[in-house]
Copies of this chain bind each other. A is one copy, B any other.
Amino acid sequence: MPRPPTLSDAEVAQRLQALPGWTVAGGRLHRDVQFRDFSEAFGFMARVALLAEKMDHHPDWSNVYNRVTFELMTHDAGGLTTLDFDLAGKISALIR
């Protein structure tokens, strides 16, 4: 699947406004989500896995107990693309 081109700084700034909870740092789209415990965190991770596989766009993410951290970028494009903002939006929709 051809990857979309990287977004300009202005486009990134504009799209970020529609994504409360996310920031951009080091060329990555970042969010830290906290849950009650590991079970709740992993139930969420299973849902993120499903939507990432469906999009064929997968997150850079890490987990420590009840915390899940995202550092999204499009590796094939070498930066942030619309795919990362789509994925971030779908991840946000899973967080109550």
A interface list, Cβ under 8 A from B: 38-40, 42-47, 49-54, 58-65, 75, 94
Contacts and interface: CB of A to CB of B under 8 A. Distances in A.
Nearest to A65: B58
Q: Chain copies in the assembly? A: 4
Contacts of A58: 38, 64-65
A54 B54 contact: yes
Contacts of A50: 38-39, 42, 49-50, 53
B42 A47 contact: yes
A64 B43 CA distance: 18
Contact of A62 (B47, B53, B62): B62
Contact of A64 (B40, B46, B51, B60): B60
Contacts of A65: 58, 75
A65 B73 CA distance: 12
